[in-house]
Structure 1
Amino acid sequence: MKKSFLALALMGAFSGAAFAQSSVTIYGIADVGFQSLDNGTAAGRFNKLQSGQQNGSRLGFKGTEDLGGGLKANFVLEQGLNLDDGSSAQGRTFGRRSTVGLAGDFGAVDLGRDKSPTFKFFDAYDPFGSGYINSGNGLSNLYFIGGSSTVAGTAAGSTGRPSNSIFYYTPGNLNGFSASAQYGFGEAAGDNTAGRSLGLNLGYTVGALNVGYSFVKDNAQALAAGPINAKKANTVAASYDFGVAKPVFIYQKVEDEAALALDQKIFTLGVTAPIDASNQVIATYTKIKDSTRLSTANLSTVGDAKQFAIGYSYSFSKRTNLYAAYANTTQDANSQKAGAAVKGADVKELTFGVRHQF
């Protein structure tokens, strides 16, 4: 039985409108495994079962209706799941994605909540695919990916996923060029700037070469009627698929408008090396150079952090695979990156698990 037929039957239990869709599909990922993490806490190492290490576990519904003339309506409702305890992730029902939109010759426009363009940028270029290491967040846990704006002291939605947003994607027939953009409303009364978020991706693919640029800016407002601290990042990346190996280079500069201005540069060298159709090895080396001053009176800077990571995946089929990864982060005395419990602490993480896609 096809998934789309099963999905139609299930959705019909909730609303007869489901049968008006051209197609509705249920999909998801079930991912859970073991994590051993030493982040410098006085009590010692954490050993635990953790959901969503290679990819976040999820349950999703997506549908498309052909409106004629090349125009289509579409929707996606995607819920994050924690398989280790059965709870909902992202702190909301459909926290991963909740969008509705139109697509046609002009491209596609979606309204709602989704990953920021910069988050999707790292999904594409990070050899770990924004997973495996750094508590299942891949390199996106070390870089700034947006989706963390606040308005008048309210909590941010969740890192990397802006809410209240308009998303635009160019059509796929632009001779290798592509672009996507995002505008997120802060929804602050009388202020169109507070809490606003912006994102832009530009890409070009020719043969085995893939190059791209990403921009993200979040306007966070810590207190009602308080100043806005705009945090932004510019990122460039390039990869080339030689077949036997796919190297990648990523560079990002992050800054903000705080009184003690953030000044951070990050670069990664990585590689994906398929051994055969079932086995794959991936590795990255990342350096964070944080030149932010310790205080307005202290010219000393936060300092550097360095991470080496290696991962492995074995595929039983197109849907099911085993994975394992190890990451080691070392940093200067005033640096506190990669989830370190205290400044200067080294962080060591070992993960392995199983992922099934449906």
Structure 2
Amino acid sequence: MKKSFLALALMSAFSGAAFAQSSVTIYGIVDAGFQSLDNGTVAGRFNKLQSGQENGSRLGFKGTEDLGGGLKANFVLEMGLNVDDGSSAQGRTFGRRSTVGLSGDFGTVDLGRDKTPTFKFFDNYDPFASGYINSGNGLSNLYFIGGTATVAGANANSGGRASNAIYYYTPGNLNGFSAVGQYGFGEAAGDNSAGRSLGLNLRYAANGLDIGYSFVKDNGQALAGGPINARKGNTLAASYDFGIAKPVVIYQKVSDDAALAVDQKIYTVGVTVPFDATNKVLATYSNIKDSTRLSAATTATVGDAKQFAIGYQYTFSKRTDLYAAFASTSQDANSQKVGAAVKGADVKELTFGVRHQF
């Protein structure tokens, strides 16, 4: 018994020494609220409690260790949670992010699974920060953000995230310039292109001006020797913070290599208006012009969709806020965007809820 206690004491001492060399943080977001959604289904409107409307609910662990000479080791393990029923999100244990890497004067290199650069791009420029509307996905539900490349015949990415990927982030001392690069392995035997994903962000932010470019390309896994369908998106955004308001414009062109090639252009104008330290209003107007042909036998196209959205946030503290938003989408007869139950259906959504960060 005495030996057991001695061993335990020694283990505790060594464990304490190990933890003293590094830091580990437990963090998370708990977000839930009411959603009323009319997506054109015959049964009528959905009224439900929904998790992760302003931000996806999550539990995360992140840590860093100083290796000396300016070099650090870093890791993040972040799982998605559905507060409304207590289940796991993203269909995997750490589906939001699971990365390990090194950082230093050269920047940061991470290995694993994370948001695509284009998803991160919309987190920065979307007034709704990829939340509030469109079932908590913000403008990223209108634009192509990647995460569609397939790996070994299964969807190992999904939801604007790339698995089996290498990420590079430039250091933060480049006078307002920054970049993010991502390469995701398709892991297909004998074919380095099938299932591969690529991403790039370029950004300049200084003195209120914020200009960015994002590129994303996802290669579909070739089936039975068939061709790879590569889908790509090029996105531009610019905003300026006047203090009393922060307007933004966003443009994206999407195309692919399918037999009926996607030909889509999306435009957004938006604004964030902070009335004071606790109140702010958000608004966007988006126009999707989808010129994708309906079939090889006709020149008819999918057509247009238009969305107007407005939101409000009241901040109680640095950790807790209330939010509300309304979005209305109208579209042409052959368009079926933002979760419409049938082609041509208008979609109207009202949300409000509470978010707590820890």
Q: CA deviation at 1:17?
A: 9.5
Which residue is 1:4 aligned to? none
Contact (CA 8 Å) 1:153, 1:224: kept in 2 or not? no
What is the alpha-carbon distance in structure 2 between the residues aligned to residue 150 and residue 54 of structure 1?
28
AA partner of residue 112 (structure 1): G
The 1:18–1:216 alpha-carbon spacing in structure 2 relative to 1, beyond 3 Å, is: farther
Contact (CA 8 Å) 2:156, 2:163: kept in 1 or not? no
SS for the counterpart of 1:56 is coil
Which residue is 1:64 aligned to? 64
Which residue is 1:48 aligned to? 48
What is the alpha-carbon distance in structure 1 between the residues aligned to residue 110 and residue 211 of structure 2?
25
AA partner of residue 218 (structure 2): D
Q: Percent identity?
A: 82
What is the alpha-carbon distance in structure 2 between the residues aligned to residue 79 and residue 316 of structure 1?
26
The 1:230–1:31 alpha-carbon spacing in structure 2 relative to 1, beyond 3 Å, is: same
Which residue is 2:318 aligned to? 318
What is the alpha-carbon distance in structure 2 between the residues aligned to residue 34 and residue 200 of structure 1?
35
SS for the counterpart of 2:47 is strand
What is the alpha-carbon distance in structure 1 between the residues aligned to residue 259 and residue 86 of structure 2?
42
Which residue is 2:258 aligned to? 258
AA partner of residue 59 (structure 1): L
What is the alpha-carbon distance in structure 2 between the residues aligned to residue 270 and residue 23 of structure 1?
39
AA partner of residue 132 (structure 2): Y
What is the alpha-carbon distance in structure 1 between the residues aligned to residue 21 and residue 112 of structure 2?
20
What is the alpha-carbon distance in structure 1 between the residues aligned to residue 228 and residue 83 of structure 2?
38
Q: CA deviation at 1:178?
A: 0.6
TM-score, structure 1 as length reference? 0.94
AA partner of residue 229 (structure 1): N
Deviations 1:20-78 (A, max 9, x none): 65110000000000000000111000000000000000000000000000000000000
- 1:267-306 alignment to 2 at 5 Å? 267-306=267-306
Which residue is 1:215 aligned to? 215
SS for the counterpart of 1:171 is coil
What residue ranges of structure 2 are gaps of 5+ in the alignment? 1-11
Which residue is 1:102 aligned to? 102
AA partner of residue 82 (structure 2): N
CA RMSD for the aligned pairs? 1.3
The 1:20–1:191 alpha-carbon spacing in structure 2 relative to 1, beyond 3 Å, is: farther
What is the alpha-carbon distance in structure 2 between the residues aligned to residue 318 and residue 134 of structure 1?
25
Deviations 1:164-194 (A, max 9, x none): 0000000011111110100000000111000
Which residue is 1:228 aligned to? 228
SS for the counterpart of 2:220 is strand
AA partner of residue 126 (structure 1): D
What is the alpha-carbon distance in structure 1 between the residues aligned to residue 282 and residue 129 of structure 2?
10
Contact (CA 8 Å) 1:21, 1:64: kept in 2 or not? no
The 1:103–1:121 alpha-carbon spacing in structure 2 relative to 1, beyond 3 Å, is: same
Which residue is 2:135 aligned to? 135
AA partner of residue 296 (structure 1): A
What is the alpha-carbon distance in structure 2 between the residues aligned to residue 335 and residue 126 of structure 1?
23
AA partner of residue 324 (structure 2): A
Q: CA deviation at 1:218?
A: 0.2
What is the alpha-carbon distance in structure 2 between the residues aligned to residue 100 and residue 18 of structure 1?
18
Q: CA deviation at 1:227?
A: 1.5
TM-score, structure 2 as length reference? 0.94
Contact (CA 8 Å) 1:251, 1:266: kept in 2 or not? yes
- 1:1-358 alignment to 2 at 5 Å? 19=19, 21-151=21-151, 153-221=153-221, 223-358=223-358
Compare CA radii of gyration and give the structure with the larger one: 2
What is the alpha-carbon distance in structure 2 between the residues aligned to residue 16 and residue 151 of structure 1?
41
Greater CA drift, 152-161 or 199-208: 152-161
What is the alpha-carbon distance in structure 2 between the residues aligned to residue 332 and residue 153 of structure 1?
34
Q: CA deviation at 1:221?
A: 2.1
Structure 1 residue runs of 4 or more that deviate by more than 6 Å after TM superposition:
15-18
What is the alpha-carbon distance in structure 1 between the residues aligned to residue 229 and residue 40 of structure 2?
30
